[in-house]
Structure 1
Amino acid sequence: MRLLNTSTIQVEEFLSNEIPEYVILSHTWEEEEITLQDIQAGALNKKGYTKIKTCCSKAANDGFLYCWIDTCCIDKTSSSELSEAINSMYKWYQNSRICYAYLADFEESSASVIENYRSFTESRWWTRGWTLQELLAPNVVEFYSVNWTEIGTKLSLHEQITEITGIDEGVLCGADPSRRNVAVRMSWAARRNTSRIEDQAYCLMGLFRVSMPLLYGEGNRAFIRLQEEIMRVREDYTLFAWSPTIVPGYSDPHISKGLLAYSPSDFIDSRDRWTLRDLSRFVAGCFISFHSTPS
Structure 2
Amino acid sequence: MRLLQYSESGELSIHSFDDGDIPPYAILSHTWGADGDEVTFADLQIGGGRTKPGYEKILFCGEQARRDSLQYFWIDTCCIDKANKAELAFSIRSMFRWYCDAARCYVYLSDVSDQPLPVTSSHHDSRWLLWFWMLSVLYTMSRWYSSTIQRYFYSRDVPCTSVGSDPVRSEQKAELALKTSRWFTRGWTLQELLAPSTVEFFSREGTKLGDKLSLVKEVREVTGIPSLALQGEPLSYFSVYERVTWIEHRTTTIPADRAYSLTGILGVSLSPIDSENLAEVMKRVLDEVDKQNNCIQDLCPSNPRDDKKRIEESKGGLLAGAYCWVLDNNTFRQWRKDPESRLLWVKGDPGKGKTMLLCGIIDELQNLTPKPTLFLYFFCQATDSRINSALAVLRGLLYMLVDQQPSLAVHIRKKYDRAGGSLFEDANTWVALTEIFADVLRDASLSAMYLIVDALDECMMDLAKLLTFIAKQSSMSSRVKWIVSSRNWPAIEEELERADHKTPLSLELNAESVAAAVKVFIQQKGRQSGTCSRS
Query: Scaled by the length of structure 1, what TM-score is found?
Result: 0.77
Q: Quote the Cα distance in structure 2 between the aligned partners of 1:166 and 1:181.
A: 15
Match of 2:74 in 1: 68
- 1:10 and 1:177 map into 2 onto residues whose CA distance is 35
Q: Percent identity?
A: 42
Whether the 8 Å CA contact 1:94–1:138 is kept in 2: the answer is yes
- Paired with 1:135 and 1:93, the residues of 2 have a C-alpha distance of 9
State how far apart, in whole Å, the 1-side matches of 2:96 and 2:102 are. 10
Deviation at 1:144, TM superposition (A): 0.3
1:105 — aligned with what? 111
* 1:85 maps to amino acid: S
CA contact (8 A) 1:6 1:59 kept: no
Counterpart secondary structure, 1:225:
helix
Q: 2:238 aligns with which of 159, 175, 180?
A: 180
Q: Could you say what secondary structure the match of 1:193 adopts?
A: coil
Query: What pairs up with 1:1-295 in 2 under 5 angstroms?
Result: 1-7=1-7, 8-31=11-34, 32-44=37-49, 45-109=51-115, 111-220=169-278, 221-234=280-293
> Aligned partners of 1:125 and 1:113: how far apart in 2?
19
Q: Could you tell me whether the CA contact under 8 Å between 1:21 and 1:66 is conserved in 2?
A: yes
Q: For each residue in 1:52-100, what CA deviation from the matched residue of structure 2 results, as whole angstroms up to 9, or x when unmatched? A: 1221111112211000000000010011100101100100000001100
Q: Deviations over 1:127-154 (max 9, x none)?
A: 0010000000000000001111000000
1:223-273 CA distance string (max 9 Å, x none): 1211111111125xxxxxxxxxxxxxxxxxxxxxxxxxxxxxxxxxxxxxx
Structure 2 partner of 1:240: none
Q: d(CA) in 1 for partners of 2:2 and 2:93?
A: 15
Higher helix share: 2
Instruction: Give the unaligned 5+ runs of structure 2.
Output: 117-168, 295-535
With over 3 angstroms needed to count, the CA separation of the structure-2 counterparts of 1:183 and 1:64, relative to structure 1, is same
Task: Report the Cα offset of residue 113 of structure 1.
Answer: 4.1
Secondary structure at the aligned position of 1:106 is classed as coil
Q: Which runs of 5+ in 1 are unaligned?
A: 236-295
CA distance in 2, matches of 1:225, 1:52: 35
Q: 2:170 and 2:228 mapped to 1: Cα distance? A: 24
Residue type of the alignment partner of 1:106: V
d(CA) in 2 for partners of 1:52 and 1:113? 28
- Which structure has the larger Rg over C-alpha atoms? 2
Partner AA of 1:37 in structure 2: A
Give the secondary structure class of the aligned counterpart of 1:125: helix
Q: Distance in 1 between matches of 2:212 and 2:96?
A: 17
Give the partner amino acid of 1:34: V
> Aligned-residue CA RMSD in angstroms?
1.3
Number of residue-to-residue matches in the alignment: 235
- Quick one: which amino acid aligns to residue 213 of structure 1? S
The whole-number CA distance in structure 1 between the counterparts of 2:111 and 2:212 is 18
Matched residue SS, 1:234: helix
Q: CA deviation at 1:107?
A: 1.1
Do the aligned partners of 2:174 and 2:209 also contact (CA within 8 Å) in 1?
no
Secondary structure of the structure 2 residue equivalent to 1:64? coil
TM, length-normalised to structure 2: 0.43
CA separation in 1, counterparts of 2:198 and 2:60? 19
- 8 Å Cα contact 1:2-1:74 kept in structure 2: yes
